[in-house]
Chains A and B, each alone.
Chain A
Amino acid sequence: MTGFGPFFTKELREILATWRLYVLPVMLLFCAVASPILALATPYLISTVANLPLKLPDPTVADAYAQWTKNLGQMALLVVIVSFSGAVNAERTSGTAAIALSKGLTPAAFIVAKVAAAYVLVVVPTALSTVVMAITTRVAFGEAPLGSLIRATAAWLVLALWCVTVVILLSTVLDSTSATAGLAIAVWLVLAALSAWGPAARWSPAGLVGAPSSLAMGQDTVWLWPVLTAAVTAAILVGGSVLALRRREL
């Protein structure tokens, strides 16, 4: 892990100095503000647009949380995938990886620093936007039970971090940033399809696809094994990335 400290510091400084600081946090904050408002306005919008005489039930906090987890599971996850799809291959093709590795940085330190910085970039704005979501929900609905919100968001966070490790591995193996993003989205779609199959949802990271919305609604859901298997496979994916970078000729 020679060189981890300086390279991790560089990664954090890069986040602060480039567009990466803004995209995911802005998206998450947008979701945090928009989800309760959208939930509040949905019955009115539906009745107005569809011009239906029927009266829809009043929106609740559960609707706001459902909207939040839906936004996280679609838009935010897509942004996570796209944001990190050039993490390794862009450094390789631009020649910055060669210079850093020529200074004694080991492949393991390179990959672990990349993953750690990516985790920081996902975890910190997720935590902040969860607070904003709670505040916005309380303002809109007069209450915001924290337990279900935190559990639902935490489940999504585990899924997002797992996706980051998939993207980092693909970015190490593939030369093209767009191919990395495309393949990572394909993995995500396969995972979403698998989540409909009981055993996969119970025993694998696929269970994390549906867990946030179930937890947001206060429903019981199997989350322990999906979280454990996500953690174990993420570690394997990081190891695979290190191995792939070591085997690649620069």
Chain B
Amino acid sequence: MTQSVTLADLTKAYPAHTAVDHLTMSVPEGSVFGFLGPNGAGKTTTVRMVLGFARPTSGSVTVLGHDAGTSSDTDLAELRRRIGFLPDVPGFYPWMSARDVLRFAGSLVGVKGTQLARRTESLLDLAGLSDVRQKVGGYSRGMKQRLGIAQALIGAPDLLVLDEPTSALDPIGRKAVLDMVAALRGRTTVFFSTHILSDVERVCDEVAILDEGRLVTQGSVEELKARYGGSSRYALDVTADKDRLRTVLESEPWVGRMVDTASGVELTVKDVDLARRRVPAIVAGLDVGLVRFEPIETSLEDVFVSLVQRDA
């Protein structure tokens, strides 16, 4: 499979800290790629190196077949014309209208004439800004973010880089942005940097998790759930006496962490086969009814927390 972005042993060190530490990963062409990590993990620094805005201390960053770390100004300009970029806080000239922003962005990437006019109107429509007459300076954060995605798409880019596009949006604004990203699947490669797990779970095909500048894991969302979640978390609900059930379970060696729920417990089991044999017997021994004993589906959040959890 062709890769749109390949990072090889990429490192960015500042005098006080190392933001990106020997990062090696790749973004498959045509995918919606989630670049996940807690705040300060090095996501934005990586994005800046992908765009050639920051120079790597060592290693290489290959974007659409070009080395973004060492290209000349002209080569970098040509490469950037093939990339759409939305920074975490998009900056617009407040005196411009949304239409002005798109025309300006389009003219910079070399789109002209009727093609520019057509794309401008179509992207204004996609961003829900066609009928907005006010200047960008009066826009809400959500409107700016939608305009940010529209300006990133004006050049019909081969790669779309979105840095925390939903982090400051309300649920409606977030849904609008995620819908726009989902609509791009298969049309362009999307490199989606975020710390919001549910967004990644909703729109991304493949995920890389970054922590303290290092790659923790990479794979499809389903692969990661299977690899790191397994089916070790179970919900156990009984008809009565859940406190006694908890006391009994605490003495069982195959029981890990337990969390109380309304009618039972949520438990992590260390030995699934043993749990399946022992739970019915324990419940029967307590002379209560078994309502539910089933695995809890692992979310990306479970995987993320288990991989990047640090000592408090």
Contacts and interface: CB of A to CB of B under 8 A. Distances in A.
B107 interface: yes
B135 to A, nearest CB: 9
- Main secondary structure, interface of A, reads helix
Contacts of A143: none
Given A6-B108, A106-B77, A96 B91 contact: yes
Interface of A: 2-3, 5-7, 9-10, 14, 17-18, 91, 94-108, 246, 249-250
Interface stretch (B1-9, B25-33, B78-86, B173-181): B78-86
A18 B81 contact: no
Given A6-B107, A14-B95, A103-B105, 18 more contacts: A2-B78, A7-B108, A9-B107, A17-B95, A91-B91, A94-B91, A95-B89, A98-B85, A99-B85, A99-B87, A99-B91, A102-B51, A102-B83, A104-B109, A105-B77, A105-B108, A250-B53, A250-B54
Interface of B: 48, 51, 53-55, 73-74, 76-78, 80-81, 83, 85, 87, 89-93, 95-96, 104-105, 107-110, 151, 155
A249 B91 contact: no
Contacts of A101: 53, 80
A72 B110 CA distance: 41
A3 B105 contact: no
Contacts of A104: 77-78, 80-81, 108-110
Contacts of B81: 103-104
A240 to B, nearest CB: 16
B74 A103 contact: no
A96 B107 contact: no
B5 to A, nearest CB: 15
Given A104-B108, A104-B110, A95 B87 contact: yes
A91 B93 CA distance: 9
B48 A102 contact: no
A103 B53 contact: no
